Chains A and B, each alone.
Chain A
Amino acid sequence: MALLTEQEKIAAVGSIRPIRSRNFALTVPALLLLVVFFILPVVSLLLRSVMEPEPGLQNYEALLGSTTYLKIFLNTFSVSALVTAVALAIGFPVAWALAIMPPRWASIVFAVLLLSMWTNLLTRTYAWMVLLQRTGIINKTLMGLGLISEPLPLVNNLVGVTIGMTYIMLPFIILPLYGVIRKIDPAILQAAALCGATRWQALSRVLIPLAAPGMVSGALMVFVMSLGYFVTPALLGGTANMMLAELIAQFVQSLVNWGMGGAAALVLLVVTLALYAVQLKLFGTARMEGR
């Protein structure tokens, strides 16, 4: 006998007499799809990394022991870090402005963000291939202004990948950061000003610390997404700065080396899931999307 609130009732049902199977059956069709066409194939790919060509860890030894591959890992991390840093540096002021500007202006910027996000990935990458090529408008404009005499190499290198990936990642950092800044009570900053803080002090000691969780979470998300990106690096990057996703595809498609492909996939998977776990640990939730 006890006083029971609705929550306690639910808790009691959950903890004391769990109804094991209520509505579980409804999730079975989707679960089946994921088990057969997601978990099973991924696990068997990872297994091949220790089974082919023969059981053992030789694939990992080859992968981690070779400077060629280590260079690719390093390149993947540095490109992702660079893209994250640039996206954050641009994204913070934009998110800040969006949070406080008149709604009518903000809605125009939102429309641009959404249109960019929803436009086909290949279309966006193609646009940058055209813009950045030797005879492209950027090189032509710079030469027309007399700033350079020779066309700059902007494609098939680090510059191209960074521009192309930042272009794609920007909305993914602006939107969550906007949400975080939007929730900060403007009165807190008025209080800071009344306490005698200058603008810079209010920015560095109040606004940025308050927005920091959003910045870290958004940056982690962009970083993880960048690590596994395939299309944009493959089209805008050069052979000199190949990224991990391309390496996996190459092992499988060109070299038909499933063992090495599986090993590289495992490395990418472990890093992704580890960072995802950090995100979960820090913020409880995480929304990520990779292509």
Chain B
Amino acid sequence: MTFLQIRGLRKDYGIVTAVRDVNLTVERGEFMTFLGPSGSGKSTTLYILAGFENPTVGDILLNGDSLIATPSHKRNIGMVFQRYTLFPHLSVGENIAFPLKVRRLPKAEIDAKVAKMLKLVRLEGFEDRKPAQMSGGQQQRVALARALAYDPPVLLMDEPLSALDKKLREEIQHEIRRIHQETEVTILYVTHDQEEALRLSDRIAVFSRGVIDQIGTGPELYANPATRFVAEFVGDSDFVDCRVLSAQNGRADIAIGSGLTIRGVPMHGRAAAGGAAALMLRPERLSLARGSVGQGSANLAATVTDITFLGSNIHVAAAAETGEALSVRLPFGHEAASSLSRGDTVSLGFDPASAHVFSA
């Protein structure tokens, strides 16, 4: 049986639809991330799971039983919020004990569990502190301990690190991974940060405008984006306008500008012959050569507009003949890059099989 299943979920606010057609299954112990920009429906979906919102249509099944009719406080779900939600009048220990106290567990059991949770989040000795005396990162760790104290089958996390600075964020991402491995709890994690999603998740569901565009592992999304949105949102990408000449078996032959034709590029979406489309290229998959290369091969002519040194990488910005701004990432020490300067004409080559065409 599937552990957690979301079926045909839809949420309307008046005439506005916040999220629709959400179908998703999550395995026990999986780390699933909802990735998308703000307003894409990812948080709404999480809030429906928590029971703070009722879906307009659809169902949520946990171990085969519907959760919809169960009120939030009986769902036995854990959650860590975007803002700090420790109970300000209770100490750290009392915060973690709170869910156990409302479940009326015996005191000895509560004490043992609190100690265990503090150890899990590595905050032993902080038991008697008040939330106001702790840093944001520490507070979120306590919130995590509190949400896990009652062994919930599912843990929801709503952008829990968005209030923290970058360094602290990475540190706690590491902690979350470790805790996920130790506890084997199923985690549904919401974020708008692609790097965070890639770092943490087993699988990622990419939300855009209220629907899920694609579900897959990080490498799958990166190598095979199903939509232009996913391609843009996960990883860096360059886009060049093109026309579809012919398409079959998921491959397309395309024309760029006046003369260039490229054959056998993986195609997403439907486009009739002659239809407008966009060619997507990854900046690190482009090769760069000085001067112009003959037509016919998968080469784009471009003019260098800027060169930025970024440590291990050199970032070259270039304008394609057809006008699009492109970026190319070269490893430090790249031969052609060393003598490159603004205004130089270059040729950007790529493997058609690693590029993608999205119908416009």
List chain A positions with a Cβ less than 8 A from chain B: 1-6, 8-9, 12-13, 15-17
Contacts and interface: CB of A to CB of B under 8 A. Distances in A.
A1 B44 CA distance: 14
Interface residues of B, number: 16
Nearest to B19: A4
B16 A16 contact: yes
B20 A12 contact: no
A2 B38 contact: no
Contact of B39 (A4, A13, A16): A4
B18 interface: yes
Nearest to B14: A16
B39 A8 contact: yes
B13 A13 contact: yes
Given A4-B39, A13-B13, 17 more contacts: A1-B16, A1-B17, A1-B20, A2-B210, A3-B40, A4-B44, A5-B38, A6-B43, A8-B16, A9-B16, A12-B13, A12-B16, A13-B14, A16-B13, A16-B14, A16-B15, A17-B13
A6 B43 CA distance: 10
8 contacts: A2-B16, A2-B209, A4-B41, A4-B44, A5-B38, A5-B39, A12-B16, A16-B13
A1 B13 contact: no
Contacts of B40: 3
Interface string B36-77: 011111011000000000000000000000000000000000
B283 to A, nearest CB: 27
Contacts of B37: 3
Nearest to B38: A5
Contact of A9 (B13, B20, B209): B13
A12 B39 contact: no
A289 B3 CA distance: 61
A24 to B, nearest CB: 19
A255 B14 CA distance: 61
B13 A4 contact: yes
B41 to A, nearest CB: 8
A12 B39 CA distance: 13
A12 B44 CA distance: 14
B14 A12 contact: yes
Contacts of A16: 13-16
B209 A1 contact: yes
A12 B15 CA distance: 8
